[in-house]
Structures are given as C-alpha cells and as structure tokens.
C-alpha cells in the first residue's frame, strides 16, 4: 500500500485539523455543550473503519479476536453516539416554534 501520511504532510494535517476543531467548537453556546460532546464522541466512532481494516488483514487467531473486539467496540461507539446525540438534539426547541 502506498503511504499518504508521510512526515510533514501528516503534521500539516494535524495542525490544520487542530485549528478546525478549535474554531468549530469555540463558538458553541454553553447550552449545546452536551450534544456537542456527544456529537464529537460520535465522530471519533469513525475508528470502526480502522478496526475493520485491521480485522480484514488479520492473520493469526489472536489478531482475529482482537480485531473482532475492536470492530465491536468501534461500532458501538458510532451507533450509540449517533442515537444519543440525535435524541438529545431533538429536545432543543425555541419558544417561538412552540407558539407557531
């Protein structure tokens, strides 16, 4: 496999992603802190993709077991994070809407 994340390219990505993270989050009002935390919790559920890759390339039984657990945990992170965040956000309503 060709590597894309070589040396400085990886560092540039980390730097830009750090600023993106800070910029995106610093404007969030305190009332949305929980959904935001839960939402970012969901986003790192993308780890399931890495776990799948590791599992598909497993050669030994030990690797298969660990890979299986990894995919299981990652899938739980993603699905659980999604459902919980969606439920929380569904509750936030403006008073104007209620009257309408």
Positions 76 through 95 that interact with other proteins (CB under 8 A) = 76-95
Distance CA 56, CA 64 (A): 8
CB of 76 to other proteins, least distance (A): 4
Report, in Å, the least distance between residue 32 CB and other proteins.
6
List the interface residues with other proteins, window 19-78 (CB under 8 A): 19-22, 24-60, 62-64, 66-78
CB of 8 to other proteins, least distance (A): 13
Any contact of residue 12 with other proteins (CB under 8 A)? no
Task: Classify residue 40 as exposed, middle or buried by CB count within 10 Å of its CB (0-12, 13-18, 19+).
Answer: middle
Size of the site for other proteins (CB under 8 A): 86
């Amino acid at each position: 496999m060709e590597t894309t994340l070589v040396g400085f390219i990886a560092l540039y990505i980390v730097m830009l992603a750090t600023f993106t993270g800070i910029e995106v989050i610093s404007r969030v009002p305190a009332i949305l802190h929980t959904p935001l935390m839960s939402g970012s919790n969901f986003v790192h559920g993308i780890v399931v993709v890495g776990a799948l890759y590791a599992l598909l390339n497993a050669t030994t039984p030990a690797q298969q077991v660990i890979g299986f657990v990894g995919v299981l945990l990652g899938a739980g992170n993603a699905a659980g994070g999604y459902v919980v965040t969606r439920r929380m956000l569904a509750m936030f309503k403006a008073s104007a809407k209620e009257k309408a």
